[in-house]
């Protein structure tokens, strides 16, 4: 497959690049060259918000687009590649759902409004606008509606923060309940689904995470603690004292959301459509071990996207809520 990655050198795009190269595809990436290119990838340099000239005269079997800001940037690429590519995957998000509709949430749940011609607004509107912009491509289009994505090269810092915190050890805030279900996808499993879907020219939206109950907060922290040396003494807390202390779910405590509407929408999704289409998922222990190995290979702190908030709990606040000060 002649594959074009619009992006391809960060987290998800890199996972697609690495797998595509390993599968023997002919892989081209278009980006500004701010990060090292994955091995085996031909990089075309260009700022896609300004020009797509680097793509002139090139044809591809499939395109994977990871853009997450102005929908108009996706629209321009989808138009430029019309007639020059066989399939277009837009890496979208389950954030496009508007929070209404039945749980478990399926691909038919209501979505927020989006404008394919818009500049950047909110993350949800940008992702929905990006889907509509991708639909202007004149061939089959897939909306890969990923949920929480984990794995090596994560540049949001969620699992990296937990791994480093657990490795630091001592009494460690563990947000409960321990049996709280979590849904996530390893970026490499997302990559495999995307490449397989492109080869089969699948179209339309797919919710892409593991099934509800795939794991729990308890299993995640226990396995992560074990992987990082069993240094942490996990102190499980109920949601009420955590929220009363002003701790922000999701950002102060990455991955965690208390039971309720937000948790239902993020961690109780229906993924039967993707599973029936062949989505496969590696064990949690592999995702954690490989992410820890990757972190250990870095010279400095893990990468962090500047357009996303920093995550992690202030140590002083953690001591306070654990009653250690
Ligand atoms: N993290 C999650 O849990 C989560 C959940 C659901 C959905 N998602 C979605 O998953 C996707 C993650 O993608 P990713 O960031 O990991 O993709 P990526 O393709 O690995 O990295 C982003 C790429 O965009 C390139 N880029 C940035 N600005 C550019 C510009 N102006 N012109 C050309 N290239 C540019 C970057 O290279 P240069 O900087 O060198 O240009 C980089 O190669 C996003 O769409 C996000 O919305 C994430």
Question: What pLDDT shows up at residue 268?
Answer: 93
Assess whether the C-beta atom of 7 lies below 6 angstroms from ligand 1.
yes
Assess whether the C-beta atom of 33 lies below 6 angstroms from ligand 1.
yes
**255 CA to centre of ligand 1 in angstroms:** 20
Of residues 192, 164, 184, 166, the one with CA closest to residue 283: 184
Tens of pLDDT, residue by residue, the chain (325 residues): 999 999 999 999 999 999 999 999 999 999 999 999 999 999 999 999 999 999 999 999 999 999 999 999 999 999 999 999 999 999 999 999 999 999 999 999 999 999 999 999 999 999 999 999 999 999 999 999 999 999 999 999 999 999 999 999 999 999 999 999 999 999 999 999 999 999 999 999 999 999 998 999 999 999 999 999 999 999 999 999 999 999 999 999 999 999 999 999 999 999 999 999 999 999 999 999 999 999 999 999 888 988 888 999 999 999 999 987 6
**229 CA to centre of ligand 1 in angstroms:** 32
**13 CA to centre of ligand 1 in angstroms:** 7
Atom 36, ligand 1: residue with shortest CA distance? 7
Q: What is the largest CA-CA distance in the chain?
A: 65
DSSP string, 96-144: GB-S-S-SSB-TTS-B----TT-----HHHHHHHHHHHHTTSSS-EEEE
Cβ neighbours of residue 200 closer than 8 Å, sequence gap 6 or more: none
115 class by beta-carbon count within 10 Å (0-12 exposed, 13-18 middle, 19+ buried): middle
Question: What pLDDT shows up at residue 325?
Answer: 63
Q: Indicate the pairing of strand 149-150 with strand 88-93.
A: unpaired
Atom index in ligand 1 nearest the CA of residue 49 equals 31
Question: What pLDDT shows up at residue 323?
Answer: 86
User: What pTM was estimated for this model as a whole?
Assistant: 0.98
């Amino acid at each position: 497959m002649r594959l074009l990655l619009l992006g391809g050198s960060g987290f998800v795009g890199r996972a697609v690049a690495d797998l595509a190269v390993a599968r023997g595809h002919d892989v081209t990436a278009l980006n500004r060259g701010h990060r090292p290119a994955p091995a085996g990838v031909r990089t075309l340099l260009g700022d896609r918000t300004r020009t797509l000239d680097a793509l002139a005269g090139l044809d591809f079997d499939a395109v994977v687009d990871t853009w997450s800001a102005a929908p108009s940037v996706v629209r321009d690429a989808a138009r430029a590649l019309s007639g020059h590519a066989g399939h277009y995957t837009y890496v979208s998000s389950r954030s496009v759902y508007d929070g209404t509709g039945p749980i478990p949430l399926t691909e038919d749940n209501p979505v927020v409004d989006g404008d394919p011609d818009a500049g950047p607004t909110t993350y949800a509107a940008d992702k929905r606008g990006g889907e509509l912009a991708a639909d202007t491509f004149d061939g089959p289009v897939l909306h890969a509606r990923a949920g929480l994505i984990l794995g090596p090269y994560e540049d949001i810092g969620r699992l990296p923060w937990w791994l480093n915190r657990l490795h630091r050890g001592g009494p460690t805030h563990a947000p409960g309940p321990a049996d709280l279900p979590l849904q996530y996808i390893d970026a490499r499993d997302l990559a495999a689904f995307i490449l397989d879907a492109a080869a089969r020219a699948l179209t339309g939206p797919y919710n892409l995470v593991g099934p509800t109950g795939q794991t729990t907060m308890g299993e995640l922290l226990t396995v992560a603690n074990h992987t990082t040396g069993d240094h942490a003494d996990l102190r499980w807390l109920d949601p009420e004292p955590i929220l009363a202390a002003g701790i922000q779910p999701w950002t102060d405590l990455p991955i965690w959301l208390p039971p309720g509407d937000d948790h239902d929408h993020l961690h109780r999704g229906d993924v039967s459509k993707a599973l029936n289409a062949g989505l496969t998922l590696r064990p949690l222990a592999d995702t954690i071990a490989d992410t820890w190995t990757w972190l250990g290979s870095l010279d400095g702190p893990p990468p962090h996207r500047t357009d996303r908030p920093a995550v992690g709990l202030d140590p002083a606040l953690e001591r306070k809520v654990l009653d250690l000060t």
